[in-house]
Chains A and B, each alone.
Chain A
């Protein structure tokens, strides 16, 4: 079945350092979505990428969708303690459901 691989599983950074998480799918995705889940919270939608090669920015966050629509990345510039949480990518499957990656848990040391 369709799978979405996400790395790294954990990332510890010093406040002010950059952070990147990567997702890779075994099949072409209709779209890729990114969610953030704070400890004890629920996944919160961040962004959706649909077009091949698409790049979107939200303040310090930059999202990219690969040309083949099989991979994506989220880059955070100059992390802050408020960025702490688990970042999930989720690929649009062929049946309309979302296929979640395992998530990258980000911790930021002040």
Chain B
């Protein structure tokens, strides 16, 4: 079965640079969630989209923005990167219509900021 695809899997950036992470949800899933997971931490919810509209916002810094496109893929744009942004970034998708339905996680993008 098709799973959530994230790219790139690994990304190394310098401080103050920008990064774009991509997420391709499971086909026919209408909701995408972004999470940030630091070492030894639980996933922290950043932002979600349902039917291409932002549905909920968590602890996403103002330096980050995201959107969901017409083909339902989503991109997380991160600017003015800081050392503390180094983490695993997971995208999850669900077909729950924006409700708290089962979320299927992608493999994650490991971002390292030097």
Contacts and interface: CB of A to CB of B under 8 A. Distances in A.
A110 to B, nearest CB: 24
A89 B42 CA distance: 10
A45 B100 CA distance: 13
Interface stretch (A58-66, A77-85, A97-105): A97-105
Contacts of A31: 100
Interface residues of A, number: 24
Interface of B: 31, 33, 41-45, 48, 50, 55-56, 58, 90, 92, 96, 98-100, 102-108
A103 B102 CA distance: 18
Interface of A: 30-31, 33, 35, 41-45, 48, 88, 90-93, 95-103
B45 A96 contact: no
Nearest to A44: B105
B42 to A, nearest CB: 4
Which of B45, B104, B106: most chain A Cβ within 10 A? B45
Contacts of B44: 100
A98 B50 CA distance: 14
A30 B50 CA distance: 18
